[in-house]
Structure formats: C-alpha cells, structure tokens
Amino acid sequence: MRSIAKYVAVGALVTPLVIGSAGFASAHDGGPGYKKSQDSANSSGGMSSSTVSGFTPDGKAYFKTTTKQAGPSGATGHSTGSHS
C-alpha cells in the first residue's frame, strides 16, 4: 500500500511538468528560449526539476525554475519565476 502512495505522489509531481512542457513549446514561438528538465524516481520516491527562459511573442522576457520531490516522509515543491 505504501508503494502505491509513492507512485501516486511521483505521478502527481511529474504530470504537471509534462503538461507544462507542452505549454512551453507553444509559448516558445516568440523567440530564443532555453529549457532544461530532469525527472527521476525509485522505490524511495521521486524528484523533478525544470528551468525555462525565453521571450514571449510580444518580446517580454521570462524565467522560471521549479523543483518538486516526494519521499517516504512527505513531499515538497519550490518555484521561482520572473518576467518583464
């Protein structure tokens, strides 16, 4: 039962990043951009991190970095972003 809870927690953390990647692809049409992501999971939990930056179609700059983790003792997430 405990391992099922871990898989659910990892899925809850990874799914928004997959959806966010699709959003980034459509928002990235404005100009130069950068994206880096890392996802991992094992029997002890999982983590996901992502950094994106670039320009919107109307020329405004943006930056966002997100980290999410889940393990036997709980889950945590952190996000920092800025835009012009």
The model's pTM: 0.59
pLDDT of residue 57: 85
Task: Inform me whether the pLDDT recorded for 74 exceeds 80.
Answer: yes
Distance CA 44, CA 9 (A): 11
- Which residues pair with residue 33 across a beta bridge? 54
Q: Is the pLDDT of residue 84 over 70?
A: yes
Q: What is the pLDDT of residue 5?
A: 58
Contact 48, 37 (CB under 8 A): yes
Whole-angstrom Cα distance, residue 21 to residue 56? 15
Domain residue ranges in the chain? 2-83
How confident is the model over 17-63, as pLDDT tens digits?
Answer: 455 554 555 455 667 799 999 999 999 999 999 999 999 888 899 99
How many residues are listed for the chain in this entry? 84
